[in-house]
Amino acid sequence: MTLEWEQTTVDARDPRALGLWWRDALGWVVVNDDPDEFEIRPTADRLPGLLFVSVSEPKTTKNRLHLDLRPDDRDAEVERLLALGATRADVGQGEQTWIVLGDPEGNEFCVLRSRPL
C-alpha cells in the first residue's frame, strides 16, 4: 500500500486572490483557476499542491498547521514576502532563528534561517 501527499487545503475568503499571492510567493504555477477552488503546484505535474477553497468566515485564531519555508537568504526573503503583502506575526514564538509571517488572510507561516554553506 502506498500513500501520496496530494495537496494541502487552505480555507480562504477569496481563494483566487490568496492562491495568486502564494503562487507569487513560491514561484509555483496555477493548475486550477476555479473561483471556489484554486490550486497551485511547484510544476503542473509535481505534487504536493496548495488548494484554496472558499469559506464565508474570516480566520480568527492561530493556525494549527502551517508551512515552514527555508530560503537561501532568510532576511532577503522576508523582505520580499513583506513587499508582496505578508505581515509580521507574533504567535508567542519569542526570540527564534525563524521569522513568523502571515499571508494576506492572516495564515501564519515560518521563514526559517538559511542553511549553512
pLDDT, tens only, 55-96: 999 888 888 899 999 999 999 999 999 999 999 998 777 788
Sheet holding 108-111, edge to edge: 67-69, 108-111, 99-102, 87-88
Same domain for 46 and 74: no
Same domain for 18 and 36: yes
Residue given cell 497551485 in the structure block: 40
Same domain for 51 and 91: no
Burial string for 19-57 (b: 16+ CB within 10 Å, else e) reads: bbbbbebeebeebeeeeeebbbbeeeeeeebbbbeeeee
Contact 101, 85 (CB under 8 A): no
Round to whole Å and give the CA distance between 21 and 48: 17
% the chain with pLDDT above 90 = 77
Same domain for 29 and 2: yes
Same domain for 52 and 80: no
The x, y and z cell numbers of residue 45, run together, are: 505535474
User: What's the structural domain count of the chain?
Assistant: 2
Instruction: Tell me the residue range of the domain where 25 lies.
Output: 1-56
Same domain for 72 and 38: no
Same domain for 40 and 9: yes
